[in-house]
Amino acid sequence: MHRFPREEGFPVSSLPLLTGTKNKNTTLEEVAVYDKAQKSGCKFIVGACMIALSLGLGASVANAHPKQRVAAVSTHPAHTTDLAQGAHRKSHRSSKLASMPYPDRPYYIDFRARTAQSYGHAFIWFGRRDDPKVDVAGLHPATMSWIPYALGHILPVPSETGASYGDLDEEYLLASYRIYLTPAEAKLAFAYIRDKQAHSPLWNAATYNCVMFISNIASFIGLRVPMSNLLYPDEWVKELAALNHGRKTARMAVAQQ
């Protein structure tokens, strides 16, 4: 059984910056870095929790709440009792994949950032390229209340690691950087993601936040990652793409496979 590396505790850092924005009307393309409108408003560093309390962020909580719009789906083709229909879908998917770049890499991990009523949210999509369904993983407070979110700027609070509200809405998307994987790479990378989802019980804005969560995943598949996990989520994703010169494939060590 493969034992995944454990990241060391919580790094020492300052509170992340707070901002709020919502942008629309972006044309999306596969394997691209999305750049939407510039942020506006003040940046707050120290006392972020007090600001959240005084402004009464309410149920917004960075729009990072687990409204399960789509259940987690398998990255493997769905089983069906109708063998004829199953064979037809498999043939159609294989034909679709063959027309895509990197046809020998049928899986992907998409590092994404979206708007929110705080400083934004970072998360990943992952799955099979010819399957319209996606899995979503991201770290956020396990609550619909704004109180744990505010307290999470001082103390670690319970977390959830699945989809949050807005993760599937591309109108909120600010940045995306997609990496393609071979079946062998995907098997190991997706198992690592599942392991992180199962062993990330706490969220803290200053120490282990949504950016840190996806940064660990980026490192695992061999990408260079930004030194700071306190960048705005979209800035972090765009810097991730820049550091790796826009490469579209993973760099997983042979020993990992």
34 found inside a domain: no
120 found inside a domain: yes
pLDDT for position 119: 85
* Rounded distance between C-alpha atoms, residue 231 and residue 212, angstroms: 10
Q: Is 2 helix (H, G, I), strand (E, B) or coil?
A: coil
14 found inside a domain: no
- Residue 7 pLDDT exceeds 80: no
77 found inside a domain: no
Residue 151 vs residue 28, higher pLDDT: 151
Question: How many domains, in total, are found in the chain?
Answer: 1
191-225 pLDDT, tens per residue? 999 999 999 999 999 999 999 999 999 999 999 99
* Rounded distance between C-alpha atoms, residue 199 and residue 85, angstroms: 38
70-103 pLDDT, tens per residue? 433 333 333 333 444 454 555 566 666 777 889 9
| Domain coverage including residue 162 | 48-72+82-256
33 found inside a domain: no
> 110 φ, ψ to 5°?
-115, 110
- Residue 11 pLDDT exceeds 60: no
| Residue 26, token pair as written in the block | 């972006």
The pTM of the full predicted model, rounded to 2 decimals, is: 0.68
